[in-house]
Structure 1
Amino acid sequence: MSVTEKDRDVLARTLWGEARGESLAGQIAVAWTIRNRVNDGKTKSWWGEGYAGVCQAPYQFSCWNKSDPNYPSLIGAKAIPFRELAQARIAADQVIDGKVPDPTGGATHYYAITMKKAPDWAVKAKETRRLGGHVFFKDVS
């Protein structure tokens, strides 16, 4: 699969929207959940096609919901602090380019530990890792 500049930019913006308070390692873990969806092995994936398609699939990553307070920054209506976006871009590029291994054990989902209640999908899923402010899962049905 060829990766476009748009894919790289959308992934970096998603990492900023979903994990800007995380370390580089935490952002890499979130990026790997997206890469695992991109590389699910299906010809026409339910998740979407490519990094931009997966990140911007409706209701998958809340920062892309039009009602989310991060949305205006993601679409360029508000500025994202340069240093924050630069770190997210480093994480995005390292994951896309295969320079770092998957620290999530194949996770396709995560949630922030700040949530008051775990999402319903997490009940039967396999937890693969806790890193920073996120819990990662695979085998989500």
Structure 2
Amino acid sequence: MPQTSLLTDPLQVAARTAWGEARGEGAVGMQAVLCAARNRLARPAWWGRDICSVFLHPWQFSCWNMGDPNRALLLAVTGADPQFQIALALAAKLVGGSLIDITSGADSYYDTRLAHTPAWAASRLYRCTIGHHAFYRVGPSGEG
């Protein structure tokens, strides 16, 4: 699939994001990443209004950042990778509207292995931790 198609096909963008962000977290971790986007889609804002714009918005999902080593990997991964097969199946649920939210409404997350907690991660907005990712609801109506 040409790289331009990878960046415009919602299924591919979602699957590659889940794989790029959380392939080491297994199916549950990848589902949680997709849930954050699902919750952003439910409340469109500055981060985007459709699957591709939400995932590809600059500096939102680090695997898409130009300097991130995961970017080259996610652009090259194929269906032969077992974790990518799982990501594709989960992304199909997101695209089809049947992905179950396992993050209690979170729209953002960070890797808990970071040296410092991000400034935006206020404790009142915390929802859950899944694998190495702490999930928060910080967008519009973040208290909800």
Contact 1:64 1:70 in 2 (8 A): yes
Q: Distance in 1 between matches of 2:138 and 2:124?
A: 5
Residue 125 of structure 1 contacts residue 138 of structure 1 at CA under 8 Å; is this kept in 2? no
Residue aligning to 2:4: none
Q: What is the distance in 2 between the residues matched to 1:85 and 1:106?
A: 25
Q: TM-score, normalised by structure 1?
A: 0.83
* Unmatched segments (≥5 aa) in structure 1: none
Which structure shows the bigger proportion of residues in helix conformation? 2
1:101 Cα deviation (Å)?
2.1
Identity of aligned residues (%): 36
Q: Secondary structure at the match of 1:38?
A: helix
Q: Which amino acid aligns with 2:95?
A: I
The Cα shift of 1:127 comes to: 0.7
Measure the CA separation in 1 of the matches of 2:98 and 2:128.
20
Structure 1: which amino acid aligns with 2:38? R
Matches within 5 A, 1:1-141: 6-40=9-43, 42=44, 45-76=45-76, 79-80=77-78, 82-123=81-122, 125-140=124-139
Q: How many residues align?
A: 132
TM-score, length basis structure 2: 0.82
String of CA shifts for 1:34-80, please: whole Å, max 9, x gaps.
Answer: 1111221x4xx31113111111101111110110001112333xx45
User: 1:132: how far off?
Assistant: 1.1
Give structure 1 regions of 4+ aligned residues with deviation exceeding 3 angstroms. Answer: none
Bigger mean CA offset, 5-14 vs 122-131: 122-131
CA distance in 1: counterparts of 2:89 and 2:59, whole angstroms: 25
Give ranges in structure 2 of 5+ residues lacking alignment: 1-7
Secondary structure of 1:9's counterpart equals helix
